[in-house]
Structure 1
Amino acid sequence: MPSVYILLSRTKTLYSRVVRLAEGGGNYTHASLALGPGCSRVYSFSRKYAQLPLPSPLVREDVPGSYMARHPQTPCALYSLTVTGGQYDAVSRRVEEMLSGGVKYRYSLLGSALCALDIAHERGYHFFCSQFVASVLSECAALELPRSPSLIRPSDFELMDALTLAYAGPVCEAPGVEDIFEKGEPYALPGKARAN
C-alpha cells in the first residue's frame, strides 16, 4: 500500500514564533504534504521567496533553497499515512489541480489567525499550511479529521491515530533530505536564480 507523508517543522522565524505563541506552544508551526519516493515532492502554502514571509502561495517547496537548508537543526517530524492506490492518485491529482490554479490559491492570514482563536473559516481559494494538508487528505477520503480543516493546527497531526511517526529530530537527518545539506546551496533572492 502506498503512503503519503506529513512533514511538520518549527523554524525560528518571527512568524513561526508568533504562530507558536498564538497556538499555545505546540511542537510544530508548519505542515507540508510530501508525495513520491523518498518524499521527493513537498507541497504547502509557504514562502514564494525564501527571505520574505509573503507572498506564500501553494508551492512545491524548494527544500535546497529553503530556510531549513540554511538552518539544518530545525526540528521536524515526518508522519506517514497509509492510503489505497486510489486515494494516493486522488491526493496527487488534487495537489496538481491546485498548483495549476496558479495565483488564485493564496495564503490565508485571516484563517490562520481565526484558527488560533478556534473559529472555523473557509474561504474558497485561501488556505494556511495545515488547513491545506488537512483539506486535501480529507477531500480525498485519505484521513478522517476530528474537526473542520480550517481548525487543524500543525501540532494536531501529532495526535491523529491514523498517522505513524516515521522520524522526529533535526531536518538535516530526516529520511530523504540528508543530501541537500551537502550541496551548500544558497537562498534564492526574489527575481534571481540560485548560484550553482
Structure 2
Amino acid sequence: MSEVKYVYIMLSDTGTLFTNVIKTYTKAPYNHASLAFDPELKEMYSFGRKNPKNPLNGGFVKEDILTGTYSKYRNTTCVIYRLQVTKREVEKMKRIIEVFIKNNNKFLYNILGVIGVSLKEPVEFSNSYFCSQFVADILYRSGIKLWDKLPAMVTPDDFRKNDRMELIYEGKLFAYGPIKQNLVKT
C-alpha cells in the first residue's frame, strides 16, 4: 500500500470587484482556487494576480497569504479541503509545478477561458490558465481524475461539490488556525 499523503485545495473570495462580477454570474460562494502542499498553506500555487494592486496583470503565482494579494484583503473568506493522494502523485505534482516555476514569465492568465466556461465552451491556449483550470490540470496530469470534463471546464465550485474533497475549514482566511498562528509570530 502506498503512503497516504494529502494536498489542499483552497477556494476563496477576496470580495474584490473582479470576484464580485464573477460571483454575480456563477452564484457560487468562492471564485478562486489554489493548490497547496501543506495544511499551513505556505507552499500554495494558482493563477491570479501577480501584483496585488493590479488585477489585469495575472499569471502563475506562488501565493503568500501574509505578503501577497491576500494580505491586502483581510476579510477574505475561504473553504479549505484536503484531498488524499499518494506519495507518487505528490511527486508528479511537484515536478509539474517546477516547470511552472522555471518558466513563470511564459504563462498568462486565461481570461477568455473564464468566459468559455460561462458559455460552456472550453477555451484553451498553451501556457494560459485560469485558477481552477490550473489546479484541475495539475491534478489530472498527476493521474488524479476528479471529473469527466476537461480542466478548462472546471470551476472552483466543482471542487466544492466533489465527494473526494474533505472539508477541513470554512470561514475567514485570517482566522484559520495555522494562518492566525503565523500572524502572531510576525
- Normalising by structure 2, we get a TM-score of 0.91
1:86-125 aligned within 5 A? 86-125=88-127
In structure 2, distance between residues paired with 1:54 and 1:71:
17
1:1-196 aligned within 5 A? 1-23=4-26, 25-36=27-38, 38-182=40-184
Unaligned runs of 5+ in 1: 185-196
In structure 1, distance between residues paired with 2:6 and 2:132:
18
Unaligned runs of 5+ in 2: none
In structure 2, distance between residues paired with 1:14 and 1:146:
31
Q: Percent identity?
A: 31
SS of 1:168's partner is strand
Name the structure with the higher strand share: 2
Aligned length in residues: 183
Deviations 1:16-41, CA, capped at 9 Å, x for gaps: 01111222x10101000111363320
Segments of 4+ in structure 1 off by > 6 A? none
SS of 1:68's partner is helix
Deviations 1:90-116, CA, capped at 9 Å, x for gaps: 011111111211211110011111112
- Normalising by structure 1, we get a TM-score of 0.87
User: Aligned-residue CA RMSD in angstroms?
Assistant: 1.7
2:76 is matched by which residue type in structure 1?
T
